[in-house]
Structure 1
Amino acid sequence: MDRLTEIANRLAEVTGIVGVCLGGSRARGVHRPDSDYDLGLYYRPPLDTPALRLLATELTGGPVEVTEPGGWGPWVDGGGWLTVDGLHVDWIYRDMDRVHRVWEQCRAGQFEIGAQPGHPLGVYSHSYAGEVALGRVLADLGSELRTLQERTRRYPEPLREALIDNARWEAPFILACARKGAARGDAFYVAGCLFRAVGLLVHALHAHARCWVVNEKGAVQAAGKLPSAPADFAGRAHTLFSALGTAPETLAAALDDADRLVAETGSELVG
């Protein structure tokens, strides 16, 4: 941690950087020995990317690709993958003003889902607020990041209601749409609908428990541990995908199981 703090302090000297926050599994204490160290670089334009490249070269001992903002897509934004002292350290840009805007949308019960490479369910905009809430602030010019963190640790009730309401109507709807694909043996379409339906349930269960979701990885298992999750939620959700097959009968059977899981989850998402 001392080495990370040192790196964070060096990053905070770069023009444009507002604060640095350790995120991901390392921040939440659920990491594996081989887990990366994800450093969120919260910035305001213009960001001095040449200075970041010089620092990355110094830390790694060789040239490193560090992108301009937007280099990794509309939501992950950009950054760099570094190996420092044998450890994988990722720099991930976050536009501070955009994070503030997303937080205000969360408070108003609004969210959007953006397409992003590496995120098959899409990036739910409120993940920006969740990253701040769950992260460990390492450097913070002006205490702006810590102030926002204190606010985001209280899950907004309007967002909670919006995510639950969205799952209540869309999960049954998309499974009904999948029935047409199942009758034609269209496993690709059915699998996509199932994935979407389970994703909706995962976000609704987390919202019901006032817990943030930051990405799809491990989200089903985490949802299964929440108080309002149906019995064996994670096991049943994963079984939907492992037993699909391509025959209309097996696809329809998977959708029957999914309908039951949606119904049971919906009955728990009250209050």
Structure 2
Amino acid sequence: MNSTIADMADQLCTLPGIRAVALGGSRARGTQRPDSDWDLGLYYRGRPDLPALTALAADFTGRPVDVAGPGGWGPWVDGGAWLTVDGVAVDWILRDLDRVERVWAQCREGRYEVGIQPGHPLGFWSPAYAGEVALSRVLADPAGELTALRAQTHDYPEPLRTALTEAAWEAEFSVDAARKSAGSGDVLHVSLCLSRAFGILAQSLHAHHRTWCVNEKGALASAAALPDTPPGFAERVSSALGALDAVAVETAAALVADVRAVLGSGG
């Protein structure tokens, strides 16, 4: 499969608009399972040639494939396609390289956005663009653009670290909001508030340790494994989200206080 993926990346970079292809996800980090997907980031400038992408996808799969163009999958996950090649799942994910570079410039200034995006229930945190590049393995990059950007993202920006650790104040705010709803049994509001609080804590803990957090999936376990994370972090989150009552809110409040104490200790 490795040779097929390499060939695919090379062919993708011959198409109009595609500037580079990178392997992402667990396979780039070396943590994949045998059945893990191959996640390919297709970095483009301008507008990719969808008919050419569709034709190439059909060449590799032997059947028609629907390729979603920019915006087809929402405002932050530009678009792409789900392929099955020789029985293996290969995901194409479009990334606007100009936009990724703009977001990276904002990250260096300590600025970020959290946008609504299907598939990201806690919102899409814009630094994920830079994190994806940093954690990727560049497969094809004829002009060296993505390779140069990846080298820049090796060092986590201190202004971004400060901004994301300071964002933990919102976790406390969210828990306070949940506390007001817990007594009336408003489970939906409580669950949304606590989930957001825990998602923010995960982002803040990763930033505190200058570690990229690119997705909610796996963020709880990876945050729990970081040094200085309060003991029982993952278990306390699971306990709070499993109950969603007044006791759960106080569990969340205590955990927020413990994490903020860690974040306030510097490091």
Corresponding residue of 1:98: 99
Matched, 1:268 2:262: yes
Matches within 5 A, 1:66-145: 66-145=67-146
Matches within 5 A, 1:153-172: 153-167=154-168, 169-172=169-172
> 1:96, 1:70 → 2: CA distance?
14
Q: CA deviation at 1:86?
A: 1.0
> 2:31, 2:220 → 1: CA distance?
15
Corresponding residue of 1:240: 240
1:108-142, Cα deviation, whole Å (9 max, x unpaired): 00000010111100100000000000000000021
Structure 1 runs not aligned, ≥5 long: 245-250
Secondary structure of the structure 1 residue equivalent to 2:235? helix
Matched, 1:254 2:255: no
Q: CA deviation at 1:180?
A: 1.3
**Residues 103, 129 of structure 1: 8 Å contact kept:** yes
Worse-matched range after superposition: 68-77 or 234-243: 234-243
> 2:172, 2:70 → 1: CA distance?
38
Secondary structure of the structure 2 residue equivalent to 1:122? strand
Q: CA deviation at 1:228?
A: 2.2
> 2:47, 2:204 → 1: CA distance?
37
Corresponding residue of 1:214: 214
Amino acid at match of 1:20: V
**Residues 209, 228 of structure 1: 8 Å contact kept:** no
> 1:218, 1:42 → 2: CA distance?
24
> 1:3, 1:223 → 2: CA distance?
34
**Residues 60, 82 of structure 1: 8 Å contact kept:** yes
Corresponding residue of 2:49: 48
Q: CA deviation at 1:46?
A: 2.7
> 1:121, 1:189 → 2: CA distance?
14
1:130-166, Cα deviation, whole Å (9 max, x unpaired): 0000000000021110100010111000000001111
- Work out the number of aligned pairs and report it: 264
Secondary structure of the structure 2 residue equivalent to 1:102? helix
Q: CA deviation at 1:51?
A: 0.6
Worse-matched range after superposition: 88-97 or 180-189: 180-189
Amino acid at match of 1:142: A
Q: CA deviation at 1:177?
A: 1.1
Secondary structure of the structure 2 residue equivalent to 1:121? strand
> 1:195, 1:45 → 2: CA distance?
37
Amino acid at match of 2:250: D
> 1:46, 1:177 → 2: CA distance?
43
Amino acid at match of 1:82: L
Secondary structure of the structure 2 residue equivalent to 1:32? coil
Secondary structure of the structure 1 residue equivalent to 2:112? coil
Q: CA deviation at 1:243?
A: 2.2
Matches within 5 A, 1:10-49: 10-49=11-50
TM-score normalised per structure 1: 0.96
Q: CA deviation at 1:47?
A: 1.2
Amino acid at match of 2:74: G
Corresponding residue of 2:228: 228
Worse-matched range after superposition: 115-124 or 29-38: 29-38
> 2:139, 2:146 → 1: CA distance?
10
Secondary structure of the structure 1 residue equivalent to 2:144? helix
CA-based RMSD of the aligned residues comes to 0.8
Amino acid at match of 1:77: D
Matches within 5 A, 1:189-200: 189-200=189-200
Secondary structure of the structure 1 residue equivalent to 2:122? coil
Structure 2 runs not aligned, ≥5 long: none
Secondary structure of the structure 2 residue equivalent to 1:14? coil
